[in-house]
Amino acid sequence: MRNGSAQDGATDCNPPPKNGYWVYLGKDRPEMDYPAEGKIEEGNYVKNRKVGVWIKYYNDGLTPKLKGEYKNNRPYGKYTKFFPDGSISEIGTFNKGHYVDTVHRYLENGLIRFIGIYDKEGKSTVDSFFYYQDNKCLDFYVCIGVHLALWKPSSIRQIAVIK
C-alpha cells in the first residue's frame, strides 16, 4: 500500500500506523475492479489520518477524478473534480461536510454551467445556471433565496423575476 506495497511485518490483524505518502493500487483493493497496477488514490497520512492533498482516480487507474485537500481525515479546503478526459468539471471549497464559498461547475467543453455561492454553514446564498447554444450563452438564471431571475447576456438586463 505505501508506495504500492504492504509494509514489512504488517498483518491484517495488526496493521502498521499510516504515516507518510501512500499510494493505493488496484492490487491493494481488488474488489474495486481497477487494474492491478492502476492507482486508486494517493496522498499523505499523519497518525492514520488523511492530510494535505489527495488524488483519487477513475477506474483506468491513470486519470485523476478528484484532487482535494484533507484535514484530520476529512475533506477540508479546495478541491478540483475532473471529467474522464482530464478537463475540469468542478472547482470549489469543502468544509465540515458541505460546500463553502464559491463552487464552479463546467461543461465538458469548458463552458461554465453553474456557479453557486455558499455561506460558512453551507447554505446556498446565490445559484446561477447557464444555458448555451452553439457555445454562446443564451441566458442564465440567478436564484437568490426564493427569488429566481432570468437574464439575457446579450442585453445584460433582467427579463423576469419569479417568486
- Give the residues across from 103 on adjacent strands: 116
Distance from the Cα of residue 27 to its chain's centroid: 25
Task: Check whether 104 has a pLDDT greater than 50.
Answer: yes
- CA distance linking residue 77 with residue 91, whole number of Å: 11
- CA distance linking residue 83 with residue 117, whole number of Å: 22
The neighbour count for residue 117, using CB atoms within 10 Å, is: 16
Amino acid at 74: R
pTM: 0.77
The chain-wide mean pLDDT, for the chain, equals 83
pLDDT computed for residue 6 by the predictor = 42
pLDDT band for position 162 (50/70/90)? Answer: very low
Give the helix ranges, DSSP H, for the chain. Answer: none
Average pLDDT over residues 53-79: 97
- Give the residues across from 5 on adjacent strands: 2
- Residue position matching grid coordinates 441566458: 139
Measure the CA dihedral 116/118/123/125, to 10°: -70
pLDDT computed for residue 3 by the predictor = 52
